[in-house]
């Protein structure tokens, strides 16, 4: 004899503290258990792809800043890589190193936000979140020193980076590198062994390996499911083949694995930055590229291992000053493909946790 309650439709979002922006989940509940969900997007749709068709190749860079505003630097880089592939531009050595440093700093930055927000979704009252944001502030200081802004950097350029690093940058970065491992250890002490956190995140929202690959899920979410796939190793763009680092992978693919993979990736990123800071050569930071770019007719798909997954740009050029077609492969959106399968059968509280563990930015989901 089973007791049944009537299904109950709950609208989570669009304005809800845990949807990380304006996202809406129409959830059908049985008591507290989710029976069905339907994700609703589009509350932040700005038509980036259409806007880009009317802008010069340089003018698009600020647009990419505003797609995933947590990881502007990686977005810049991914776009610039695609344009360089399209226009066949060479990049000076020093600029390559700067790009690696920036991309890895951005990865730490994003993972700090992701992990902090995830623990917040588990119900911790802002403590881990604020600790992690404290370190993110430091990184943003460094970004500000380099680019002049704290969030929308607009730093990468086709053929290099916009300006050289200031003189005081590398010492400050070294100081940060020295301090950061202690801070990561602090987060781990604070939350990793916490029984409540483990109970809330272990074996929750399991994403099997096959499903992850089939759904095109990439980045830490896929790696937590055991997919050992990292474009930095698999398709080393730029100069990533010169650095030593590991790809942390999870075993089960639950929410806890996604969190631990992110923490481990931060450590790997620190390793990469350390090597890059050691080896960075002097020289020009931007190659000789015309101010208004006219790439030849053709198409190119440039991608990189963004902090959230494979971030790619598919560009079609008709030889003009603006791309004919500008398509983004948004990791945030595609990582949500399996959301329905991951959420059904769990309680609302788990749903929030699982959703938080995927780590999305609505600016990129909707674009």
**DSSP-assigned states of every residue in 129-194:** HHHHHHHHHHHHHHHHHHHS-SS----EETTEESSPPPTTHHHHHHHHHHHHHHHHHHHIIIIIT-
Nearest distance from residue 144's CB to another protein, in Å?
A: 4
Residues in 23-82 at the binding interface with another protein, rule: CB under 8 A:
31-32, 41-42, 45, 47, 49-50, 55-56, 58-62, 65-66
Q: Which of 14, 16, 28, 287 forms a contact with another protein (CB under 8 A)?
A: 16
The rounded distance, in Å, linking the Cα atoms of 77 and 239 is: 13
- Closest CB to another protein among 45 and 90? 45
Residue of 325, 329, 336 lying closest to 298 (CA atoms): 325
Decide: 166 and 145 in contact? Cβ < 8 Å: yes
Q: Compute the Cα dihedral for 143, 174, 168, 187 and give only its sign.
A: positive
Phi, psi of 32, deg, nearest 5: -105, 0
Residue 169 or residue 271: which is nearer to another protein going by CB? 169
- β-strand partners of 15: 22
**Residue 150 Cβ, how far from another protein at the closest point, in Å?**
9
Q: Which residues contact 26 (CB under 8 A, 6 or more apart)?
A: 9, 10, 11, 12, 37, 38, 39, 40
Closer of 276 and 336 to another protein (Cβ): 336
Residue closer to another protein, measured from CB, 59 or 93 = 59
Is beta strand 298-306 parallel, antiparallel or unpaired with respect to 160-161?
Answer: unpaired
Beta-strand (E) ranges in the chain?
A: 8-12, 24-30, 33-40, 156-157, 160-161, 298-306, 309-317, 325-329
Paired tokens of 146: 């380099």
Stretch that binds another protein, among 71-79, 101-109, 172-180, 277-285 (CB under 8 A): 172-180
Stretch that binds another protein, among 103-111, 187-195, 264-272, 276-284 (CB under 8 A): 187-195
Q: Could you tell me the two tokens for 349? A: 């509280």
Give the binding-site size for another protein (rule: CB under 8 A): 120
Separation in Å, CA 271 to CA 137, 180, 187, 264: 20, 11, 18, 11
Sole binder of another protein in the list 36, 163, 242, 267 (CB under 8 A): 163
- Nearest to another protein of 49, 274 (CB atom): 49
Nearest CB to another protein, comparing residues 166 and 283 = 166
User: Nearest approach, Cβ of 209 to another protein (angstroms)?
Assistant: 10
Q: Minimum distance from CB of 235 to another protein (Å)?
A: 4
Q: Please identify which residue in 26, 36, 208, 271 interacts with another protein, judged by CB under 8 A.
A: 208
Residue 163 in tokens: 């300006």
Q: Return the residues of window 254-273 that contact another protein according to CB under 8 A.
A: none
Residue 169, both tokens: 């940058």
Kindly report the number of other CB atoms within 10 A of residue 148's CB atom. 12
- Which residue number, 19 or 71, has a Cβ lying nearer to another protein? 19
Q: Which of 84, 96, 265, 310 binds another protein (CB under 8 A)?
A: 310
For the bound state, the minimum distance from the C-beta of residue 291 to another protein, rounded and expressed in Å, comes to: 7
Site for another protein in 232-251 (CB under 8 A): 234-236, 241
> CA–CA separation, 132 vs 259, rounded Å?
13
- Cβ-based nearer residue to another protein, 277 or 348: 348
Please select the residue that binds another protein; options are 217, 221, 272, 304, rule is CB under 8 A. Answer: 217
Q: How many CB atoms lie within 10 A of CB 65?
A: 24
- 314 to 333, contacts with another protein by CB under 8 A? 314, 316, 324-325, 327, 329, 333
Which residues inside 104-133 make contact with another protein, applying CB under 8 A?
A: 119-127, 130-131
Widest CA span in the chain: 77
Q: Binding mask 278-307 vs another protein (x if CB under 8 A, - otherwise)?
A: -------------x-------x-x-x----
Region of 73-81, 92-100, 102-110, 335-343 interacting with another protein (CB under 8 A): 335-343
């Amino acid at each position: 004899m089973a007791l049944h309650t009537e299904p109950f439709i709950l609208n989570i979002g669009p304005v809800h503290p845990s949807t990380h922006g304006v996202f809406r989940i129409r959830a059908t509940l049985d008591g507290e258990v989710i029976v069905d969900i339907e994700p609703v997007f589009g509350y932040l749709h700005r038509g980036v792809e259409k806007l880009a068709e009317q802008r010069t190749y340089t003018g698009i860079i600020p647009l990419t800043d505003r797609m995933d505003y947590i990881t502007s630097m990686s977005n810049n880089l991914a776009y610039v890589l695609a344009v360089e592939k399209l226009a066949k531009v060479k990049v000076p050595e020093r600029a390559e190193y700067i790009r690696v440093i920036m991309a890895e700093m951005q990865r730490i930055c994003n993972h700090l936000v992701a992990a902090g927000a995830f623990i917040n979704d588990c119900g911790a009252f802002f403590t881990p979140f604020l600790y992690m944001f404290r370190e993110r502030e430091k990184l943003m200081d460094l970004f500000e020193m380099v680019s002049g802004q704290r969030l929308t950097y607009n730093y990468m350029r086709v053929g290099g980076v916009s300006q050289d690093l200031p003189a005081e940058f590398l010492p400050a970065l070294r100081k940060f590198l020295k301090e950061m491992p202690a801070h990561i250890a602090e987060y781990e002490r604070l939350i990793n062994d916490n029984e409540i956190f483990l109970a809330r995140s272990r074996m929750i929202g399991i994403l099997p390996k096959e499903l992850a690959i089939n759904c095109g899920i990439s980045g830490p979410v896929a790696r937590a499911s055991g997919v050992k796939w990292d474009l930095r190793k698999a398709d080393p763009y730029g100069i990533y083949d010169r650095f030593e680092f590991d790809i942390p992978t999870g075993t089960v693919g639950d929410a806890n694995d996604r969190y631990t993979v992110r923490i481990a990736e931060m450590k790997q990123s620190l390793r990469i930055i350390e090597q890059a800071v050691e080896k960075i050569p002097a020289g020009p930071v931007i190659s000789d590229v015309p101010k208004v770019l006219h790439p030849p007719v053709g198409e190119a798909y440039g991608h990189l291992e963004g902090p959230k997954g494979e971030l790619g740009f598919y560009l079609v050029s008709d030889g003009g000053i603006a791309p004919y077609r500008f398509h983004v492969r948004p990791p945030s959106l595609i990582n949500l493909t399996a959301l329905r399968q991951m959420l059904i059968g769990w309680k609302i509280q788990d749903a929030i946790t699982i959703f938080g563990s995927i780590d999305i930015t609505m600016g990129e989901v909707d674009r």
